[in-house]
Chains A and B, each alone.
Chain A
Amino acid sequence: MRRFVERNPFWSIVILVAVAVLVWSIFAVWPDWLVDAIGRKKIFLNALFNGITLGALYFLVASGFTLIFGLMRNVNLAHGSLYLFGGYIGYEIADWSGSWLLAFPVTFLVVAVLGVALQLAVFRRMQGQDLRQTLVTIGISIVLADLMLWIWGGDFFQILTPEWLSGPVETFLVTGVKRSSGDPIFLKYPMVRLVILAAAIVIGVGMWLLLNRTRIGMLVRAGVDDREMLTATGVNIQLVFVAVFAFGAGLAGMAGVVGGTFQSIAPGEDTRFLLASLVVVIVGGMGSIPGAALGALLIGLAEQFGSVYMPTYAVVLTFLIMVLVLAFRPQGILGRA
């Protein structure tokens, strides 16, 4: 941190000013000229929160993707299919048992088992041939997409939120002042999104702890750095591969349940989330979990602010960010060269 400030005094000041402006615009009551310039504060705050929660969802999908890539050099282009599959499974479980919470562990397990099957049956046979693996995952994603279309059809599915999570909750953030009485108006925000955001943060922190404070995490990090050397020390790397693949796939499946709750699941969502994870990890840096978090936040915010302030080109904005990152820092913001 201090080294960054010493090395880049200019950028430190820019970042500091940006953070200060952001904090001010979140907490202060907006003056009239600002409202005239960019619209009401409520819209801004909603876009901000939606962007952060969308970023949380992207993080859940992309962290598995980037972990699998970092360890196995395997670009799993079927990752979006795992997300969609998880969404459908979660819907079925929630529909059958009536319990939203039960859908998460069951989906995690089911999709993780699918991930193990993929790793054992497919990727293990073509270790180190990354192009071939990529092509195979494209084939798998086509087959899975059509199988899911066959089973669940082209309809939209939405996983119902339980009673205790539905409805808005009043936050402590002020959106404006009542003209008549002068009382502050507080922002109302859907409870379920806040819960999901909290869950994503917990999972992210948990993953960081797992990677940095446990033996398994140590093995995974060593594998990312030097696979051959780790094998030479007597570690059964195939087991680590299977575990990481299962974990990444399970995360994608769980993200499917989350996505099915606060958006909806339908054919085509697999491609959407695959592309989102691609952009997120390209922006954040391949194989880096903090990079995935930063990238997911950036892309989620860009998408939401884009759809509010420049609705036509919201989708293009995310790709513009990606192109800019590529042009100036090809390895991603937090990626290693």
Chain B
Amino acid sequence: MAVTDHGTGQGAEGRRAPAHGTWIESIPPAVWALGAVLLLMPALANDFVLYQIFGWTFILGMIGLSLMFLAGYGGMVSLVQMSVAGMAGYMVAIFGSSAIETISLGWPWYLSVPVAILIAVAFGTVAGALAVRTEGIYTIMITLAIASAFFYFTRQNYVIFNGFSGFNGVLPPQLFGVDWRQAVPFYYLTLFWAVLSYLAVLYVRRAPFGLALQGVRDNPRRMRALGFNVTAHRIAAYSLAAVIAAIAGILLTWQSAQISPGTAGVGPVIDILIIAVVGGLRHPIGPFIGALIYVVLSTFAIDILTGLGLAGERFRLLIGLGFLVIVFFSPDGVLGLWEKWRASGRRDPLTGEDRGEDRGGNREGGA
């Protein structure tokens, strides 16, 4: 089942850099401008904005990115990514140090972090191996069920996961003499990993594996006939997505210095889907846009609502309605709205035909 509208997506992706000039020249000026703004942000914004707004945006964006990678290129909408992130957070608390000294093993970071990522990736891979036995809508249901099983298990298990209260006091290491929980270092830390995972997804998209994955998404039978191992490609996609989600999960745990079952509860799991869908599942930048909207809304919703004369607790209503409106009118999220707007600008006002470069027809997702 095709999840996104590939007809138009491929047109933009398919454009190669011009043959002359180095690859640096092929980067559009908008990206340079965005990069400069992001790098110079600490000079412009205060600590709260850096730490709470942008730090959180990058982390949620990364988890959303792992969902986007699976959904956009693999055609598998997996709700288990937040649980993978939660697993990584738990493992870093268990193998590293936390305030719960009876459980935490207190390993140094260069051991606990890789082990945490490894275990989380193993978890994501096993969940993926179960989920790829199903297709389309079923994948959503099964991954949702796995995610809630993880939530209930962590809530009930006191020996390893410390039950309802989870772990607190999970702090990042004081590497290079920097306190990474300060606003500016944490901003750069999350920015670094967000950009790295974004670039990694961009690279994999054009790499043989990514192309094969997109082939599997569009026509698994044909890919199987061509000799590709469809199941292996799908499971490998889950593993790769789990790496991104695991790194984000560790950052998330360090940001709030705690991890508890609620971190990966059903609500947050759905929120990640909302983030990815609102941003757009077509391009890796989508989840970050969605995350920014979500974070800004959830941080300032109370102010907005009280400003409008409504009770501040109705923030879920605002998020839900916003999500509903976006899904209702633009299945491709904010990115879809942007492309629609650009396409309407290129359209000839008389004939209604495209006069720009040739773009594919407007196929709808789903069969």
Query: What residues of chain A have their CB less than 8 Å away from a CB belonging to chain B?
Result: 73, 75, 122, 128-132, 134-136, 138-140, 142-143, 145-147, 149-150, 271, 275, 278-279, 282, 286, 312-313, 315-316, 319-320, 322-323, 326-327, 330
Contacts and interface: CB of A to CB of B under 8 A. Distances in A.
A140 B323 CA distance: 9
A146 B317 contact: yes
A128 B323 contact: no
B152 interface: yes
Given A143-B321, A313-B156, A316-B156, A132 B149 contact: no
A320 B141 CA distance: 15
| Residue of A146, A271, A278 most packed against chain B (CB within 10 A) | A146
Contact of A312 (B148, B157, B273): B157
Interface string B79-104: 00000000000000000000000000
Interface residues of B, number: 43
B171 to A, nearest CB: 30
A125 B189 CA distance: 44
B316 A330 contact: no
Interface string B329-367: 001000000000000000000000000000000001111
17 contacts: A75-B140, A130-B137, A131-B1, A135-B331, A136-B327, A136-B328, A138-B274, A142-B317, A145-B316, A146-B316, A282-B145, A313-B157, A315-B156, A319-B148, A319-B149, A320-B149, A326-B142
Contacts of B153: 313, 315-316
B273 A138 contact: yes
B152 A319 contact: yes
A327 B3 contact: no
A147 B316 CA distance: 9
Contacts of B149: 315-316, 319-320, 322-323
Contacts, number: 118
B266 A143 contact: no
Query: Which 8 pairs from chain A and chain B are nearest by CB?
Result: A142-B320, A319-B149, A139-B324, A143-B320, A315-B152, A146-B317, A129-B366, A146-B316
A275 B147 CA distance: 11
B216 interface: no
B140 to A, nearest CB: 6
A3 B134 CA distance: 28
A59 to B, nearest CB: 18
Contacts of A278: 141, 144-145
B133 interface: yes
Contact of B324 (A140, A145, A149, A322): A140
Contacts of B144: 275, 278
Contacts of A149: 313
Contacts of B45: none
Contacts of B316: 142, 145-146
B264 interface: no
Contacts of A146: 314, 316-317, 320
B327 A275 contact: no
Given A75-B141, A282-B138, 4 more contacts: A132-B327, A135-B273, A282-B145, A326-B142
Nearest to A286: B138
Contact of A282 (B141, B273, B277): B141
A100 B294 CA distance: 43
B1 A326 contact: no
Interface string B30-52: 00000000000000000000000
